[in-house]
Amino acid sequence: MLNELYQSLDPVAFSAGPITIYWYGISYIVGALLTGVVMYRTQRRWGLDITVDDIMTVVVGIVFGLLIGARLFYVLFYGDGYYFAHPLEIFAVNHGGMSFHGGLVGGALGGILACRFCRLSAWTIADLAVIGVPVALALGRCANFTNGELWGKPTDLPWGVIFESGGNVARHPSQLYEALLEGVLLFVVMQILSRRKPLPPQGLFMGVFVAWYGVARILVEFVRVPDAQLGYLFGGFVTMGQLLSLPLVVIGIALIAFALHAKRPQRGYLDD
């Protein structure tokens, strides 16, 4: 069933003359907008009264930081020296090559700068953002599936998919595994937590998100084929994705512990 679905998909959403729009690009735009909607609706439920303009300013800051960070991390950690020999290719983002871990770092820095500009609590905004981000992650992984990239190892399971670039063999649709774990399930968990009374303290949502993503990514990497230019590290067992995800688990647990100890309430604007 999944194989038939993949075969019927086209990575190009539409084209007109020299302009070609891909579903992958659309997933970024729609994901950012939906994240902003979730952030706004959640902060209203929390009674923070943050304006739509300030929410969108933060979202724009996060998106710009995410794109820059995702590309730079890919160049540094996944490029295997290629981009140092071909520096102009760093800007050829249409050829692919983005790292979630870099996007997380860049998005956090972009969000912090936007929060300072709007005089918003960066911790609360971070919590609001990660409540909505799983929607964007799910859309992005579905776009990876449509593109036929980041596929998994060969499998004889009934939901195996024969990807065009993966040879004539059924493979794990690891993109959809990540869409489920990092997207759908994490979104449900975040929604449940965001409706708790009393409201969880500042930083807890960020900690849960980071730790959950780290664990989910490490697990999926066991059935996902690593980047061809890197392969497996440390004796053919660990992937770069797992190596970069392990610190996320540690940081996430530390953030949860700090949030529960500090018990700082969620708040919107900073005091003058």
Neighbours of 68 (CB within 10 A): 17
Where in the sequence is the domain holding 27, given as residue range(s)? 2-262
pTM, whole model, 2 decimals?
0.89
Given pLDDT bands bounded at 50, 70 and 90, which one contains residue 47? very high
**Rounded CA gap, 204 and 182, in Å?**
17
Output the pLDDT for position 78: 78
Cβ neighbour number for residue 242 with a 10 Å cutoff: 21
First to last CA, the chain: 58
Q: Rounded distance, CA 15 to CA 168, Å?
A: 29
Q: Which of 204, 70, 69, 182 is nearest to 136 (CA)?
A: 182
Q: Is residue 76 part of a domain?
A: yes
Sign of torsion over alpha carbons 48, 52, 54, 59: positive
Q: Is residue 239 part of a domain?
A: yes
Side chain identity at residue 144, one-letter code: N
Predicted pLDDT at 236: 72
pLDDT, one tens digit per residue, over 238-250 is: 888 899 899 999 9
Whether residue 109 lies inside any domain: the answer is yes
Domain annotation covers residue 272: no
Mean pLDDT on 95-110: 82
pLDDT band at residue 261 under the 50/70/90 scheme? very high
For residue 159, being part of any structural domain is answered with yes
Q: Is the pLDDT of residue 235 over 80?
A: no
Rg of the chain, C-alpha, whole Å: 19
47 or 87, which is more confident: 47
Q: Does a structural domain hold residue 267?
A: no
pLDDT given for residue 95 in this prediction: 58
**96, pLDDT greater than 70:** no
Where helices occur in 158-239 by DSSP H, the ranges are: 174-178, 186-194, 204-221
* 198 cis-preceded (ω within 30 degrees of 0): yes
Rounded Cα distance, 120 and 138, in Å: 27
In a domain, residue 268? The reply is no
Of the candidates 87, 86, 93, 39, the one whose C-alpha atom is nearest the C-alpha of residue 70 is: 93
> What tokens appear for 138 in the block?
């799910």
Alpha helices in the chain (DSSP H): 2-7, 23-46, 52-73, 82-85, 100-118, 122-147, 174-178, 186-194, 204-221, 240-262
pLDDT tens per residue, range 132-151: 999 999 999 999 999 998 89
Q: What percent of the chain has pLDDT over 90?
A: 65
* Domain count within the chain: 1
- CB burial of residue 177 (10 Å; 0-12, 13-18, 19+): middle
**Domain membership flag for residue 270:** no
* DSSP 3-state of 184: helix
Dist. CA 233–CA 221, nearest whole Å: 13
> Which band of pLDDT confidence, cut at 50, 70 and 90, is reported for residue 94?
low
| Phi, psi dihedrals of residue 152, rounded to the nearest 5° | -100, -170
CA distance 120 to 111: 10
